[in-house]
Structure 1
């Protein structure tokens, strides 16, 4: 099998994975009255974990960059759906907080743009693994814990909870460590810890939805400037 065919098959698997997650969560929301906020975060974490498919690409061939196909497709879809989607659209049901289609043009769209960036400019780099671990797992679970267990509130620009910030810190470290181990075969814990501590402060001060840009941006700045 040629490297191109091999990488095309992995790309198809990646697309199927991302679309399956969205479809499954849409079914749960519509058929089982599954909480929309939890569905949104499951999609968030699952999409951010798409980079596990990097393990299976042939890195010697240019077609490794096809790994961003799921992100690119969803970038286009979110842009279109943000203007045209109906209230029962699967993206609206699984990726928005309030059911307003315009939300798709904010956090979810920013997230896919970051995926495209990490899968091209920073593919296989420690920077990308750390950024997606923090963005996918840390930022994915922080609001869940903050909403359900957050009793100690504080405000920088927007109200957050200490419990949510701790969840970001712990799950961000967890996600980044898993990605480091799977892709690199080792865990650079010091770099992860430095980035996570700074990103926790960034997340705490970030307005809603902008954290999907600001968290990975902070990781990029840290790695390119100091690590």
Structure 2
């Protein structure tokens, strides 16, 4: 796709277009969830939808011209939210839409934990690991797996365990299954292939790490696990 667009636009314009589309996508999702929360949509579920949608921003990488420096503009949506979360985490009022949409309890300081860590990971993946398989796997596990695990754990989690924080076997299985699915989709969209054995092994290790992780810190520990695994495997 990026090659056909490149026949019409210069690399810089092509990458600016891709960045604009990514910005529209991310901010539209947040805007929709803000609206739904005002209408009574569950705040915690809204947080997870934003989590999954934001983590899927890398699908726009396929549009970028990889030969031009402006490919790094892909992190602009994440970078803007990194700055916004820092500002809102310190200064937002209780009725701020980001506080309502992206926190569990309505405490603005929560924005400085999981949500901020998540955007920092996006910044790193979109620069140092742009278009690398480890980024696709990391964001699949972190976005889809970690995004849906609490939802399924809360609804279906009957078999609880408590190592660092209370979790459930059902939630951990959801992390594994949806993480593999999300990562596989990213691999197929961006590279057209997926090393399924490698992906599944990495997902199993990441699932164990997630089970041992404190709240919010898993947003760092999951991609770190993937980076180490891809270096060793």
Same fold (TM over 0.5): yes
Q: Does 1:214 align with 2:227?
A: no
- Asked whether the 8 Å contact 1:22–1:90 carries over to 2, the reply is no
Q: Does 1:88 align with 2:95?
A: yes
- Aligned runs of 1:37-116 on 2, under 5 Å? 37-116=44-123
How many angstroms apart in 1 are the aligned matches of 2:76 and 2:224?
22
Runs of 4+ in 1 over 4 A off after TM superposition: none
The alpha-carbon deviation at position 87 of structure 1 amounts to: 1.5
Q: Does 1:3 align with 2:11?
A: yes
- Aligned runs of 1:3-22 on 2, under 5 Å? 3-22=11-30
- State the match for 2:153 in structure 1: 146
The alpha-carbon deviation at position 16 of structure 1 amounts to: 1.1
- State the match for 2:165 in structure 1: 158
How many angstroms apart in 1 are the aligned matches of 2:143 and 2:21?
20
The alpha-carbon deviation at position 73 of structure 1 amounts to: 0.3
What TM-score do the two structures reach when normalised by structure 2?
A: 0.95
How many angstroms apart in 2 are the aligned matches of 1:12 and 1:196?
32
How many angstroms apart in 1 are the aligned matches of 2:18 and 2:169?
40
- Aligned runs of 1:181-196 on 2, under 5 Å? 181-196=188-203
The alpha-carbon deviation at position 194 of structure 1 amounts to: 1.0
How many angstroms apart in 1 are the aligned matches of 2:145 and 2:172?
9
Gap runs ≥5 in structure 2: 1-8
Q: Does 1:25 align with 2:33?
A: yes
How many residue pairs are counted as aligned between the two chains? 225
Cα RMSD for the two superposed structures: 0.7
How many angstroms apart in 2 are the aligned matches of 1:195 and 1:98?
32
- Asked whether the 8 Å contact 1:49–1:136 carries over to 2, the reply is yes
Question: Aligned with 1:187: secondary structure?
Answer: coil
- Asked whether the 8 Å contact 1:137–1:172 carries over to 2, the reply is yes
The alpha-carbon deviation at position 2 of structure 1 amounts to: 1.3
- State the match for 2:127 in structure 1: 120
